[in-house]
Amino acid sequence: MNNMLLIFCAAFITSWVLLEIFFKISLSFANTGEIKNNTTFINYLRLTSVVLFASTFVFFFIEGEKFTNFIYFICVI
């Protein structure tokens, strides 16, 4: 399982790098000159991805009973 989690992290980082390269190449065709807006957007995107990645990682890390208890806890709230 630990090996799978490592591969999961590696795949996430590889794909994120590919997305960022694609995103920057695409924006170079835009000719809008809104570099500040683009940087702000990509920073928000990075933040969202990290939060989503962390939550998915936790999902796989605390498997089975621990996870169902976690969901139960949220439902009780």
Binding site for other proteins (CB under 8 A): 1, 3-4, 7-8, 10-12, 14-15, 18-19, 22-23, 26-27, 29-30, 32, 34, 41, 45, 48-49, 52-53, 56, 59-60, 67-68, 71-72
- Cα–Cα distance, 7 to 41 (Å, whole number): 28
Least CB distance from residue 36 to other proteins, whole Å?
Answer: 14
Least CB distance from residue 31 to other proteins, whole Å?
Answer: 9
- Tell me which residue has tokens 């809008």: 32
Contact 19, 42 (CB under 8 A): no
Is the CB of 3 or the CB of 77 nearer to other proteins?
Answer: 3
Direct distance between the N- and C-terminal alpha carbons of the chain, in angstroms, rounded to an integer: 31
